[in-house]
Amino acid sequence: MTSPKRVGKIEFGLLSPKDIRRMSVRKIIWADTYDDDGFPYPQGLMDLHLGVIDPGLRCKTCGNKASECPGHFGHIELAKPVIHVGYTRLIRKLLRVSCRGCGHLLLSPDEVSKVLGPEDERNEDTISEKDIKKERVCPYCGEQQLKINFEKPTTFSEVMTDENGRKIEHKLTPADIRARLEKIPDEDLRLLGINPAVARPEWTLLTVLPVPPVTMRPSIILENGQRSEDDLTHKLVDIIRINQRFKENQDAGAPQLIIEDLWELLQYHVTTYMDNEVAGCPPARHRSGRPLKTISQRLKGKDGRFRGSLSGKRVNFSARTVISPDPNLSIAQVGIPLAIANEMSFPIRVTPFNIDEVRAMVLTGPNRPSLNSPCGANYAIRPDGRRVRLTEQTKENIAEMLEPGWTVDRQLRNNDVVLFNRQPSLHRMSIMAHRIVIMDGKTFRLNPAVCPPYNADFDGDEMNLHVPQTEEARAEAELLCSVTENIMSPRFGGPIIGGIHDHISGIFILTHTLRWFDKSGVLYLLKSSIPENLPEPGKIENGKEYWSNKQVFSMILPDGLNMFYRASSCKNCDKCEHENCERDAYVKIIDGNLICGTIDKKSIGAFDGTILQRIIRTHGLESGRQFVDDVTKLSISGIMYDGFSFGIDDEDLTKIEYGQIDDVLNSAEDDVERRIRIYEEGQLEPMPGRTLEETLEMQIMQVLGKARDRTGDIANRHLGLSNSAVVMAVSGARGSMLNLTQMAGCIGQQAVRGERITRGYEGRTLPHFKKNDRGAPAHGFVRNSYKSGLTPTEFFFHAIGGREGLVDTAVRTSQSGYLQRRMINALQDLKVGYDGTVRTSGGKIIQFKYGEDSTDPAKGCFGDPVDVKGIVESILKKEVA
């Protein structure tokens, strides 16, 4: 539906006073806006020629109503010229490089050639202020030049030397400056990078001020019926008032002093009208004391016109609500509440082929009765473009009138394509196309396996949903943005979607070592993806058929898959035992059958997903999606088969371990004391490049860190795979052995900026300790575990350490956000050409071959263009080194 008309280019230039007068529809002379009856004054700031904002009135220029009238400019004739603040630097430069007598550039043609090169070889370079020596003589008329001083915001002066050799500053009025700039010849301006055809420098001194249309500064009517004017209107009122007074005084022949004061006041108002944040100029304020938001402020910054209104726009056909998980959905689906599906719509054109179907939708009307009933419609658009809302009353009538050529806004129905998004949208996988499933409830439902690309969780996150409104957009969403297309991340060439948390624990428990299930068990596990035929049972005992857990997992693997790798639980032993690994960490898949090994994070997890990666390469993205769906469901069944929970008593150890932990910690604290004594006696050898204190601190940190690790080892000896936390840590589902150590063993040293906690009171961290105590407990060593509970001082130190993490995150998000914005801005125009080069929008070549080998990182295999190992293995069906 794109219009064939394109905006070809946009040219920038200055408005000359003539232009301003020509485009003006009305000269504005009255500072007042509305009269007592609430009617705009003619030739006032709200003159009806400038456009209308009140409904009902008609514009006196174009005759349109408020909604159609684009607004028209007016103008104010200024009593004397004033400087445009934005151009003070340009004016200063021009005054310094041009002759005060004849206006010529202060360089002879020869000197110009010296700077810019001979006339026929010149490029875009221009003369800068530095190319001209100070206080020289004009090469054309021989006039002695004077130094030009500039004082912020808008004062210019010449420095003269009087007969006594004293320096006196002579102020230049805007009129003087204008006269000087007028004298600069066109040819000289070109050398300075100014195009005189569109920007004569004297136009930067305003003699006539354009008055923007009222549509640009609408007044709002407050609840009490009072009118409240826009900031720009306020500013224009000021300008007109002063201008009027200036004129009167001028005509009355007022003394020079008063004229100058008024001139300066007018300059101030025009300055702040353009930019209310100029250095050296107090900002104009509203009656309430708030600085006014004038033209410059409207354009600038994040919520300004450019970034806020032009680069980012608000959209219709979008929805937002809280998200919650539903593991029974496919990863390519999203569950949406009926209320949203009823509100959002997709336009379909009525044709002879679908008229009956559409008529049924219109007859259903805007209120779809239940989840499963066919969708209704919200609006009908007549061939003339008129939009008719469907209601219970009008639907029958409209259904009658329906004929080819109409368009009907149909409600969403199952399997429609929508775009789903979570902010911050840091990468392209933050917006993906899903197919909808209409559900009960009021939240969006999504499969937890698609959380990683969105970086979503369910602690109250909200997400947005957009409905593409044309068939073209739907097709592109489906083909380019669908979840299936985005399983592989272009960041590192691996799957970004995959099992998380319980998916991994579940599949780990299910596939670890060898287990047997009877027929009902197998069918329970595979309930959501039951294969057509069960394979031959692995063993028959007492006439009963049994299948192994590896067989169960193999049923969701596609045929012809051959893989050999080591799982996350692999400890990288010196000598690999392969099939006989005691941890069952050597994974071997032949012809789609899991022979040995445990499936865990490495196999199916998000960011790792070796199996998923291989399936996508050999069987395609769609099979990959199917595998994720199957494996997540199988693992959920697997975890439910045994049950999986974690409670406070899972952190319990026996008396023996507690005794050992105490011993370790006591000896560590003793060791610290001993080292402190050595230090205090002056016996400590400093490490190269470190002071004595630093050496001691490093030693203490080391001793205490080691002690913490040893308590962890003691705890781990007691806790085996029967402990849920260990299962989670080993399988890679969540948490680490360190977390377990801190829960059961010892929390360890709390640090701020990598050092022990030292700040607080004089010579000590807390009044609970002696002054200058360097011992472990006095500087943030927490010897308790989360289970045993912290002492008050330990709790305090723990909070100190925790605070650092919070501050860090807060600082980091803003910094990395800005880095990303800068990078996007610098690189956004780059694209691969049809010749394989990477070019900017101007056609400049950045790379002759993208990435030096033209490989798409999203299609490659962790950076390699071809997964050679995988291909060789799948053909030879054995592991190759």
Partner 1 sequence: MKSELIKKIEEADLPEKTKNDLKKYLGDQDISKSQFETILGRIKEEYANTRIEPCEAVGVIAAQSIGEPGTQMTMRTFHYAGVAEINVTLGLPRLIEIMDARKTPSTPTMTIYLAGDYATNRDMAREVSWQIEAAPLHEFGDITTDMLDMRVNVHLNRDVCKKRKITIDEIIDRSPQKIKDKNHYRDFEFEGDSENAIISFMPKDRESYQNLFSLAEHVRKVIVQGIDDIERVVVRKENGEYILYTEGSNLKGVFEVDGVDTSRTRTNNIAEISEVLGIEAGRNAIIDEALSTLREQGIAVDVRHIMLVADMMCIEGEVKQIGRHGIAGEKESVLSRASFEVTVNHLLDAAIANEVDILEGVTENVIVGQPIQLGTGDVKLIAKSRVN
- Comparing CB distances to partner 1, the nearer of 222 and 880 is 880
- Comparing CB distances to partner 1, the nearer of 663 and 856 is 856
Shortest approach of partner 1 to residue 98 CB, angstroms? 15
Among residues 16, 80, 25, the alpha carbon closest in space to that of 52 is found at 25
Q: Is 58 exposed, middle or buried (0-12, 13-18, 19+ CB in 10 A)?
A: middle
Does 577 engage in binding with partner 1 (CB under 8 A)?
no
Shortest approach of partner 1 to residue 535 CB, angstroms? 27
Does 514 engage in binding with partner 1 (CB under 8 A)?
no
Residue type, 370: S
Shortest approach of partner 1 to residue 94 CB, angstroms? 10
- Strand duo 333-337 + 431-439: pairing: parallel
Q: Which stretch binds partner 1 (CB under 8 A): 111-119, 158-166, 244-252, 855-863?
A: 855-863
- Comparing CB distances to partner 1, the nearer of 228 and 816 is 816
- Comparing CB distances to partner 1, the nearer of 466 and 783 is 466
Residues with Cβ within 8 Å of 833's Cβ and at least 6 positions away in sequence, in order, are 839
Give the C-alpha separation, 371 to 414, whole Å: 9
Among residues 172, 169, 6, 203, the alpha carbon closest in space to that of 90 is found at 203
Does 251 engage in binding with partner 1 (CB under 8 A)?
no
Shortest approach of partner 1 to residue 304 CB, angstroms? 6
Shortest approach of partner 1 to residue 456 CB, angstroms? 14
Residue type, 134: K
Among residues 266, 291, 297, 280, the alpha carbon closest in space to that of 84 is found at 266
Find the binding residues for partner 1 in span 785-824 (CB under 8 A).
808, 811-813, 815-817, 819-820, 822-824
Find the binding residues for partner 1 in span 467-506 (CB under 8 A).
476, 480, 490-494
Q: Is 130 exposed, middle or buried (0-12, 13-18, 19+ CB in 10 A)?
A: exposed
Contact 359, 399 (CB under 8 A): yes
Bridge partners of 761?
A: 764
Find the binding residues for partner 1 in span 738-767 (CB under 8 A).
753-754
Contact 640, 524 (CB under 8 A): no
Shortest approach of partner 1 to residue 422 CB, angstroms? 13
Compute CA distances 244 → 45, 48, 702, 831, whole Å: 14, 21, 80, 57
Does 864 engage in binding with partner 1 (CB under 8 A)?
yes
Shortest approach of partner 1 to residue 9 CB, angstroms? 5
Shortest approach of partner 1 to residue 328 CB, angstroms? 30
Contact 71, 213 (CB under 8 A): yes
Shortest approach of partner 1 to residue 761 CB, angstroms? 26
Shortest approach of partner 1 to residue 276 CB, angstroms? 12
- Comparing CB distances to partner 1, the nearer of 247 and 300 is 300
Helix residue ranges, H only, 437-543: 451-454, 471-476, 502-511, 519-525
Residue type, 482: S
Shortest approach of partner 1 to residue 410 CB, angstroms? 25
Does 220 engage in binding with partner 1 (CB under 8 A)?
no
Does 853 engage in binding with partner 1 (CB under 8 A)?
yes
Question: Per-residue string for binding with partner 1, 663-682, x by CB under 8 A?
Answer: --------------------
Shortest approach of partner 1 to residue 664 CB, angstroms? 24
Does 404 engage in binding with partner 1 (CB under 8 A)?
no
- Comparing CB distances to partner 1, the nearer of 158 and 476 is 476
Contact 695, 473 (CB under 8 A): no
Tokens 């299609």 map to which residue?
A: 859
Does 121 engage in binding with partner 1 (CB under 8 A)?
no
Does 13 engage in binding with partner 1 (CB under 8 A)?
yes
Give the C-alpha separation, 566 to 598, whole Å: 9
Find the binding residues for partner 1 in span 172-191 (CB under 8 A).
none
Query: What 3-state class would DSSP assign to 467?
Result: coil
Give the C-alpha separation, 26 to 214, whole Å: 12
Does 320 engage in binding with partner 1 (CB under 8 A)?
no
Q: Which stretch binds partner 1 (CB under 8 A): 255-263, 320-328, 394-402, 865-873?
A: 865-873
Shortest approach of partner 1 to residue 15 CB, angstroms? 9
Question: Per-residue string for binding with partner 1, 591-630, x by CB under 8 A?
Answer: ----------------x---------x-------------
* Angle, CA 583 vertex, CA 580 and CA 585 arms, to 5°: 80
Contact 194, 186 (CB under 8 A): no
Q: Cα-atom radius of gyration of the chain, to the nearest Å?
A: 39
Find the binding residues for partner 1 in span 409-438 (CB under 8 A).
426-428
Find the binding residues for partner 1 in span 344-373 (CB under 8 A).
none
Among residues 46, 24, 31, the alpha carbon closest in space to that of 209 is found at 24
Find the binding residues for partner 1 in span 198-217 (CB under 8 A).
198-199
Contact 207, 17 (CB under 8 A): yes
Does 10 engage in binding with partner 1 (CB under 8 A)?
yes
Does 279 engage in binding with partner 1 (CB under 8 A)?
no
- Comparing CB distances to partner 1, the nearer of 58 and 427 is 427
**What token pair was written down for 329?**
């959905």
Among residues 102, 209, 95, 82, the alpha carbon closest in space to that of 153 is found at 82
Give the C-alpha separation, 108 to 93, whole Å: 18
| Alpha-carbon torsion (481, 483, 485, 491), positive or negative | positive
Among residues 129, 207, 210, 147, the alpha carbon closest in space to that of 174 is found at 207
Shortest approach of partner 1 to residue 472 CB, angstroms? 9
Give the C-alpha separation, 780 to 753, whole Å: 13
Q: Which stretch binds partner 1 (CB under 8 A): 215-223, 375-383, 794-802, 829-837?
A: 829-837
- Comparing CB distances to partner 1, the nearer of 648 and 881 is 881
Does 691 engage in binding with partner 1 (CB under 8 A)?
no
Contact 518, 506 (CB under 8 A): no
| Residue 824 φ then ψ, to 5° | -60, -45
Does 128 engage in binding with partner 1 (CB under 8 A)?
no
Q: Which stretch binds partner 1 (CB under 8 A): 86-94, 217-225, 526-534, 669-677?
A: 86-94
Give the C-alpha separation, 747 to 790, whole Å: 9
Does 865 engage in binding with partner 1 (CB under 8 A)?
yes
Find the binding residues for partner 1 in span 292-311 (CB under 8 A).
296, 299-301, 304, 306-307, 310-311
Shortest approach of partner 1 to residue 486 CB, angstroms? 12
Residues with Cβ within 8 Å of 351's Cβ and at least 6 positions away in sequence, in order, are 404
**What token pair was written down for 71?**
């607004």
Find the binding residues for partner 1 in span 43-82 (CB under 8 A).
none
Find the binding residues for partner 1 in span 519-548 (CB under 8 A).
none
Instruction: Please provide the DSSP assignment of 702-759 as one string.
Output: HHHHHHHHHHHHHHHHH--TTSHHHHHHHHTSS--HHHHIIIII--EE-EETTEE---
Q: Which stretch binds partner 1 (CB under 8 A): 28-36, 106-114, 252-260, 685-693?
A: 685-693
- Comparing CB distances to partner 1, the nearer of 578 and 771 is 578
- Comparing CB distances to partner 1, the nearer of 32 and 755 is 755
Tokens 């900026």 map to which residue?
A: 753
Give the C-alpha separation, 446 to 424, whole Å: 18
- Comparing CB distances to partner 1, the nearer of 49 and 84 is 84
- Comparing CB distances to partner 1, the nearer of 512 and 617 is 617
- Comparing CB distances to partner 1, the nearer of 194 and 714 is 194
